Chain A
Amino acid sequence: MGAFWQRFSRNRQAVLGLGIIAVIIVMAATAQLFFPGDPFGLAGKSMSPPGMNGFLLGSDSLGRDVAAGIAHGAKTSLMIGLIATLVAVLVGVIMGALAGYYGGLIDDLLMRTTEMFQTIPSFVFAILLVAIMKPSIESVVIAIAVVSWPAVARLVRGEFLSYRNREFVQACHTVGMSDIRIMLAEILPNCLSPIIVIGSLMVATAILIESGLAFLGLGDPNVMSWGFQIGAGRTLLRSAWWVCTFPGVAILLTVLAINLVGEGLNDALNPRLRERSS
Chain B
Amino acid sequence: MSRILDIQGLHVALPASGQRQYAVENADLHLDENEILCIVGESGSGKSLTARAVMGLLPRPHVRIAKGSVMFQGEDLAQISEARLRDIRGSEISMIFQEPMTALNPVMTIGVQIDEVFRFHGDMPARERTERALGLLADVHIPDPEQALKAYPHELSGGQRQRAMIAMALALDPKILIADEPTTALDVTTQAQILKLIKEMQDEHGTGVLFITHDFGVVADIADRVAVMQNGLVVETGTTDEVLNRPQHPYTQGLIAAVPSLTPRPPRPRAKEIVLRVNELDKTYRSGGGFLGGEARVVHAAKQVTLDLARGETLGIVGESGSGKSTVARCIVRLNDAEAGQILLGDTDIRPLGRAAMRPHRAKIQMVFQDPFASLNPRARVGKIIAQGPIQMGATPEDAKTRAMELLETVGLDAGAYDRFPHEFSGGQRQRIGIARALALEPEILVADEPVSALDVSIQAQILRLLDEIRDRMNLSMIFITHDLRVAAQVCDRIAVMRRGEVVEMGATAELFATQQHEYTRELLSAVPGRTGLG
Say yes or no for B359: interface residue by CB 8 A criterion.
yes
Contact B369 A170 (CB under 8 A): yes
Q: Which of B362, B374, B438 contacts A168 (CB 8 A)?
A: B374
B367: interface (CB < 8 Å) = yes
Residues of chain B contacted by A166 (CB below 8 angstroms): 374-375
On whether the beta carbons of A176 and B392 are closer than 8 Å, the reply is yes
Chain A residues lying within 8 Å of B366, measured Cβ to Cβ, are 174-175
B388 within 8 A of A: yes
CB distance from A175 to the nearest CB of B (A): 4
The answer to whether A190 touches B370 (Cβ under 8 A) is no
Chain A proximity mask over B408-445: 1 for CB below 8 Å, otherwise 0:
00000000000000011000000000100110010000
Min Cβ gap A104→B in Å is 12
In angstroms, how far is the closest chain B Cβ from the Cβ of A136? 41
Check A176 against B369 for contact (C-beta < 8 Å): no
Instruction: Assess whether B272 is interfacial by the CB under 8 Å rule.
Output: no
Report how far A173 CA is from B437 CA in the complex, Å. Answer: 13
Closest to B388 in A: A175
Given the complex, which residues of A lie within 8 Å of B441, measured CB to CB? Answer: 175
A51 close to chain B: CB less than 8 A: no
Task: Tell me if B126 is interfacial: C-beta within 8 Å of chain A.
Answer: no
* Chain B 322-345 interface residues, beta-carbon cutoff 8 Å to A: 330, 333-335
Binds A, one of B43-51, B259-267, B376-384: B376-384
In Å, the complex CA distance between A189 and B381 comes to: 13
Chain A residues within 8 Å of chain B by Cβ, number: 17
What separation, in Å, do the CA atoms of A174 and B366 have in the docked complex? 6
* A-chain residues with CB within 8 Å of residue B363 when the two chains form the complex: 175
A126 to B362, CA, bound (A): 50
Q: Is A267 an interface residue (CB 8 A)?
A: no
With CB as the reference atom, state the residue of chain B lying closest to A277. B17
A172 nearest CB across to chain B (Å): 7
What's the minimum C-beta distance from B436 to chain A, rounded to whole angstroms? 12
A146 to B359, CA, bound (A): 40
- Complex Cα–Cα for A278 and B359 (A): 37
A-contact 0/1 string along B459-473, CB 8 Å cutoff = 000000000000000
Q: Tally B residues with Cβ within 8 Å of A.
A: 33
Contact A171-B437, Cβ < 8 Å, known A176-B358, A176-B393, A189-B379? yes
**Interchain CB contact under 8 A, B392 and A175:** yes
Does B389 belong to the interface (CB within 8 Å)? yes
Rounded to whole angstroms, the CA-CA distance of A168 and B374 in the bound complex is 6
Near B by CB (< 8 A), chain A positions 152-202 give 166-168, 170-177, 186, 189-190
In the complex where A167-B369, A167-B374, A171-B367 touch, is A190 in contact with B379 (Cβ < 8 A)? yes
Which residues of A are found within 8 Å of B388, using beta-carbon distances? Answer: 172, 175, 177
Is the pair B375, A190 in contact by a Cβ cutoff of 8 Å?
no
Residue from A166, A174, A176, A177 whose CB has the most chain B CB atoms within 10 Å: A174
Contact, CB under 8 Å: A174 / B362: yes
Bound Cα distance A171, B362 (Å) = 11
Does B371 belong to the interface (CB within 8 Å)? yes
**In the docked arrangement, what's the CA distance between A176 and B359, Å?**
6
Query: Which residues on the B side are within 8 Å of A271 (C-beta)?
Result: 378
Give the residues in chain A near B370, CB-CB below 8 Å.
Answer: 167
Known: A173-B335, A174-B366. A167 touches B392 (CB 8 A): no
Where the two chains meet, the residues of A that have a C-beta atom closer than 8 Å to any C-beta of B are 166-168, 170-177, 186, 189-190, 271, 275, 278
17 example contacts (A-B, Cβ-Cβ < 8 A) are as follows A166-B374, A167-B371, A167-B374, A168-B376, A168-B385, A172-B388, A174-B362, A175-B363, A175-B388, A175-B441, A176-B358, A176-B392, A176-B393, A177-B392, A186-B377, A190-B377, A278-B423
Question: Hey, which bits of chain B sit against chain A, CB under 8 A?
Answer: 330, 333-335, 355, 358-359, 362-363, 365-367, 369-371, 374-380, 385, 388-389, 392-393, 423-424, 434, 437-438, 441
